[in-house]
Amino acid sequence: MWSKIQSMLEGQPERLKVVRIILENGLGLRGSEVYLNDIEIPVVRIAKLAGVDRRTVDETIRMIERNPEFKSLFSNLRSAGLSLRGVAKQLGLGVVEIIVEDPHKPGIIAGATQLFSELGISIRQALVDDPELIPEPKLVLIGDRAVPGEIIPRLLKIQGVTKVSVY
């Protein structure tokens, strides 16, 4: 889907920024309005974040509304909810971010969660970006305690894992 969006917005990098912000934040479009679940978000806020004019956001929304496939997708988007990532340190939790070469390859989540289990770390939250909608998807696992650095080489042995960050 991301490739379709890129193709449709070829030569329009400002609009592509707007769409990326909408997708990455799980914002839905209903008519000419933008929503975070049931909370209306002013388009001027999206424009500011994207570094574009408000009219660019409005035009991007109208363009999406004119495309039946995109309209259906964007009108049904909802935020996945609370992420503990930003408060993990304060809560004494550990965070592992995993980047893979092919996010469609099966077994990566299973391999990573198995390693957490072997270290006796319970997973409080798993956040996975959709590879069809997010251009650089990540897997983020949040454990119930700090994650030891010894997990990094073990995670890198999982076929397809290219980068691991622990914090």
pLDDT along the chain (167 residues), means of 10: 91 96 94 95 97 97 95 93 94 97 94 97 96 91 96 96 96
Total-model pTM: 0.81
Q: Which CATH superfamily is 85-166 part of?
A: ACT domain (3.30.70.260)
- Cβ 152 vs Cβ 166: under 8 Å: yes
Predicted local confidence at residue 136, as pLDDT:
87
User: Which CATH architecture group holds 2-75?
Assistant: Orthogonal Bundle (1.10)
Q: CATH 1.10.10: which residues of the chain? A: 2-75
Predicted local confidence at residue 74, as pLDDT:
95
Predicted local confidence at residue 145, as pLDDT:
97
Q: CATH 3.30.70.260: which residues of the chain? A: 85-166
Q: How many CA atoms lie within 13 A of 167 on its CB side?
A: 11
Q: Which residue has the tokens 């999406």?
A: 64
- Cβ 2 vs Cβ 134: under 8 Å: yes
Closest CA to 142 of 80, 86, 101: 86
Predicted local confidence at residue 153, as pLDDT:
97
What CA–CA distance (Å, rounded) separates 106 from 160? 9
Please name the residues in contact with 64: beta carbons below 8 A apart, sequence gap of 6 or more.
19, 29, 70, 71, 74
Query: Would you give the DSSP letter of residue 67?
Result: S
Beta strands 94-100 and 139-143: pairing type?
antiparallel
Please state the three-class secondary structure of 99-141 as a single string.
EECCCCCCCHHHHHHHHHHHCCCCEEEEEECCCCCCCCCCEEE
Please name the residues in contact with 125: beta carbons below 8 A apart, sequence gap of 6 or more.
83, 84, 85, 140, 141, 142
Predicted local confidence at residue 81, as pLDDT:
86
Predicted local confidence at residue 32, as pLDDT:
92
Predicted local confidence at residue 80, as pLDDT:
86
